Amino acid sequence: MSKTYRLSAKQNLEIIKISNALAQGKSVSVGFIASVSNNANKPNNK
């Protein structure tokens, strides 16, 4: 598996975790969501 694919899969997993937590009404750190979103939105330069 390529490094890029593994990174994307990890980001997707984090996003799923956040979504599940929000669906259950748990508080999720805004900074954590922002960092995951920023990482997901950055163009991949590799």
What's the average pLDDT block by block, 10 residues per block, for the chain (46 residues)? 78 86 74 69 56
Residue 25 has what pLDDT? 75
Residue 27 has what pLDDT? 67
Residue 19 has what pLDDT? 85
Residue 2 has what pLDDT? 72
15: phi then psi, degrees, rounded to nearest 5: -65, -40
Residue 40 has what pLDDT? 61
Residue 24 has what pLDDT? 81
Residue 35 has what pLDDT? 73
Q: Return d(Cα 19, Cα 35) in angstroms, integer.
A: 15
Q: Return d(Cα 40, Cα 3) in angstroms, integer.
A: 15
Token pair 């990174």 is found at 7
